[in-house]
Structure 1
């Protein structure tokens, strides 16, 4: 279904059924984008958008937050971007602030699903 804001095609969530039948997830889009970049630092924004299930514009906004927060660095390589995840960044919520980004990546393991 096209997004009313951008007219982009919005990718749906993966074909899974939650036990409760709900549509919520345990992780935010920020965590999903971070895990995508940890899995493949050379992905394009549309590829990330498809995996996460948000628009390309949504990925841009999340990336801006992650870059501003020091969790991701972006380097231009020719016409493409390369992303480097900062594994030493601490998670933002007070309940998880004692954990680093590396802990999240290790615990959840980045895995390609393209």
Structure 2
């Protein structure tokens, strides 16, 4: 995934997550987001790459907020958004760790 078209990035990450947001899907998408950040920002710092990966993974995760209309209204609450962002940060950190293990 080296195409930087925003819709292509979102579609790729969502396809890795699957129809239902699961831990395994989130891990697969986090690893893909970390890989994309490394490819797209070769001269950037680790923090800049992580922020890039987090931005795109969070956008993909937020697409799932309205899959169940009854829950959609609650998923847009500020506390839920902060929890989603924290989960995405943790997933991206895991993605970078998994990439390092793959390279070893």
Q: Give the number of the structure whose residues are more often helix, by fraction.
A: 2
Q: Give the number of the structure whose residues are more often strand, by fraction.
A: 1
**Structures share a fold, TM > 0.5?**
no
Q: Which structure is larger by alpha-carbon Rg, 1 or 2?
A: 1
TM-score, length-scaled by structure 1 = 0.27
Higher relative contact order (CA 8 A, sep 6+): 2
